[in-house]
Amino acid sequence: MSWDDKFSKDAKSIRASEIRELLKILEDPGILSFAGGIPDPALFPMEQVKKIRMDIERQPDLDRQAMQYSQTEGYAPLRQWVADRHTTTETTLESGNILITNGAQQSLTLLATIFLEAGTPIAVADPTYLGALQVFGTRRPEYLRVETDENGVRLDRLEEAFKAGAKVFYTIPDFQNPGGMTIPEDRRRRIVELAHQYDVVILEDAAYRALYYDGPPPPSLFELEGQFLGEGQWQKAGLVIQLGTASKTLMPALRVGWTIAPKPILEKMVLLKQANDLHTSTLNQMIANGLFQKDFDEHTQRLRSVYQERKDAMLEALRQHLPNSVRFSTPTGGMFVWVQLPEGMNARRLLEKALDEEKIAFVPGEAFFAGSGGENTLRLSFSTCSPDVIRDGMQRLSALIQRECVEKVA
């Protein structure tokens, strides 16, 4: 029986995630994976989680509250923590500006429903986070693809997209997934100005913001918009909506993320979330809250030092072993290095060989583009392997690329 004629247009437009498909192959323990953009489970704060759970169990009322239905907006102390943490001199956040979601992924889903419908023009970087493209794709928008350079989206191309009528711009300004690039402060300021000039909503995805290794990133678009508008104005005139998550710093399985937005947007999101799943797991929100309230800065500091070593090991090995014709990004945070193979080389075919000959996995870059392109690009993640394993893996992958380059020329 064919279900195709029964599916809605939205259902038909859903794309399979290349990464999720790839993760299935990676269950093979013999494969050395630089594919998944996942945190290292060895760095999960397991002991603190145990303590927080015991602490909840010792308080019968709280313990029951953790298992009861609760409000859609989220666990009040956690919302307050997010609000306080993101309040700036110009913009005071209240818990009414914060919605706790099932990961940042759900924030994207709710925001896509609020702002996009078939044909809505949305500007996205080329390349950008595949999971966002998956979500947006279900709304069948019109993509206005914005070319990037080593500093993120190009301003001239972004302005063209805004002029062409973009209603929304989705961006990951810090240590982008997948490109690894960070937008510098002057470019960020200009993006905020342009958004106001052309009246474009900005969805700022700050998923990797806390994972900086060579000094903190520039102020966020949310912070800069506060400066641009002046004290107290964001609540009335803000166009920047920021998404955050506990997945990259704490544990993804908590499924705790959030949206920071002016209240009229939050109110719409709350209604939609209610229709979607009523609320995010209260127990998980309590655990996230406990982890954020105690020693969170020390914890992220430890993550930074471990990941920094891995990032440096990867960059150093690529510098040493990759042929000169291959270019790669030099991220200062996050989890990813973006590789551009010489024109004409195909990263999908390279992956087949890498799996077959070297038992090494990465993600071909094509999937991160909102349309065609990127066949010669790939994403490497340095988050889960030790520096030695990274050095060995990069040496072998580089040797394979070198062999392929020679073959292509021959």
Chain residues that interact with ligand PLP, rule: CB under 6 A: 37, 103-105, 129, 131, 172, 177, 205, 207, 245, 247, 252, 257
Whole-angstrom distance, CA of residue 118 vs CA of residue 141 = 5
CB-nearer residue toward ligand PLP: 72 or 245: 245
Distance CA 159, CA 146 (A): 9
- Tokens of residue 206, six digits: 């700050």
Q: Which is nearer to ligand PLP, 219 or 252 (CB)?
A: 252
Measure the CA–CA gap between 284 and 270, rounded to whole angstroms: 19
Distance CA 213, CA 281 (A): 32
CB 50 within 8 A of CB 396: no
Could you tell me if 129 and 177 are in contact, meaning their C-beta atoms sit under 8 angstroms apart?
A: yes
DSSP secondary structure of 335-351: SEEEEEPPTT--HHHHH
Quick one: DSSP state of residue 333? B
For the bound state, the minimum distance from the C-beta of residue 257 to ligand PLP, rounded and expressed in Å, comes to 4
Q: How far is the CB of 9 from ligand PLP (least distance, A)?
A: 25
Min CB(128)–ligand PLP separation in Å:
8
Cβ-closest position to ligand PLP: 103
Nearer to ligand PLP, 204 or 404 (CB): 204
Question: Which amino acid would we find at residue 358?
Answer: E
Give backbone dihedrals phi and psi of 90, rounded to 5 degrees, phi first.
-90, -30
Comparison of 128 and 398: residue with beta carbon closer to ligand PLP: 128
Give the span between the Cα atoms of 371 and 217, in whole angstroms.
29
User: Nearest CA to 207 among 282, 309, 108, 85?
Assistant: 108
| Shortest Å, Cβ 237 to ligand PLP | 26
Q: Say which residue the tokens 């929304």 belong to.
A: 168
Closest distance between ligand PLP and the C-beta of residue 42, in Å? 18
State which residue, 91 or 245, has the beta carbon closest to ligand PLP. 245
* Residue placing its CB nearer to ligand PLP in the complex, 205 or 366: 205
Least CB distance from residue 125 to ligand PLP, whole Å? 11
- Give the whole-angstrom CA distance, residue 131 versus residue 19: 9
**Structure tokens given for 96:** 């009414």
Q: What is the C-alpha to C-alpha distance for residues 86 and 354, in angstroms, rounded to an integer?
A: 43
Residue closer to ligand PLP by CB (options 250, 270) is 250
User: Is the backbone peptide bond immediately before 184 cis, with ω within 30 degrees of 0?
Assistant: no
**CB-nearer residue toward ligand PLP: 145 or 396:** 145
**Amino acid letter for position 90:** E
Q: State the minimum distance, in angstroms, from the CB of residue 178 to ligand PLP.
A: 8
**CB nearer ligand PLP, residue 202 or residue 207:** 207
CA angle 262, 268, 271 (to 5 degrees): 135
The CB-of-19 to ligand PLP minimum distance in angstroms stands at: 9
To ligand PLP, the closest distance from the beta carbon of 409 in angstroms equals 36
Cβ 131 to ligand PLP shortest distance, Å: 6
**Nearer to ligand PLP (CB atom), residue 245 or residue 281:** 245
What sign does the dihedral 234-235-240-244 (CA atoms) show? positive
